[in-house]
Amino acid sequence: MQNSKSNSENIANSNLISSKNNLDKDLNVKRDLFSKKAFTTKEEMVKNYTDTYKKAPTLYGPYTWTIRKPAYSTRPGVNQPFTENILYNSQYSYPPPGVYVAEIYNYKIEILLPTDAVTGYIESIDVMGYSNYTTQAVGFNQFTRVGSPASGPFGPSDTGLYLNANTFGVLLKYNSAGQLINYPIGITDTKTFTYYYINP
């Protein structure tokens, strides 16, 4: 009688594991498909899922994630400002267009989404920087990926679906004549990202 009960439990556990593996496989297929797409609105993300799977997903959000301005540090692997010569294409009267020595601040986030999330979307940042500091295109970059965190040994250790985004702040330090300018563009002490995610 004990063996019969034990066999039944083993079969039930095996079915449960098989079912979970199938769900995980289905979720990973969906994640892989949606990680290759760039959405311009959360509505587009929901519509794309609905059109693909003939079923509307559940939308969660808005949520916010606030980060501090990157700071100089002696710790390895820490996100910190870096210096670069850039050609500044000003649309304003000051500072004039030209080559500047600039400090670049990369405001970046990496959010571990819930285990059943298919994809995520950054809707906005409270104070926008540049998506590309060399061309001075205003905006931000975003993508999702499955894997371990990119933040290295000092960050979280979970493997899962990550929503990544960044925007650049620029401090024009010196002009080509060596004059101190210290003109900030898109630099704030904190930036708040607003995001959503969907699950089946």
pLDDT at 84: 95
Average pLDDT taken over every residue of the chain: 83
Q: Cα–chain-centroid distance for residue 42?
A: 15
The neighbouring-strand residues paired with 90 are none
Task: Read off the pLDDT band of 33 (50, 70, 90).
Answer: confident
Q: What is the span of the domain harbouring residue 69?
A: 2-199
Of the candidates 149, 54, 67, 143, the residue with the CA atom closest to the CA atom of residue 105: 67
Residue 26 DSSP SS3? helix
In one letter, which amino acid is 149? P
CB 111 within 8 A of CB 133: no
pLDDT at 150: 59
Neighbours of 161 (CB within 10 A): 24
Residue 196 tokens, joined: 């959503």
Helical spans, DSSP H, in the chain: 2-35, 42-53
pLDDT at 173: 96
CB 71 within 8 A of CB 80: yes
The number of distinct structural domains making up the chain is 1
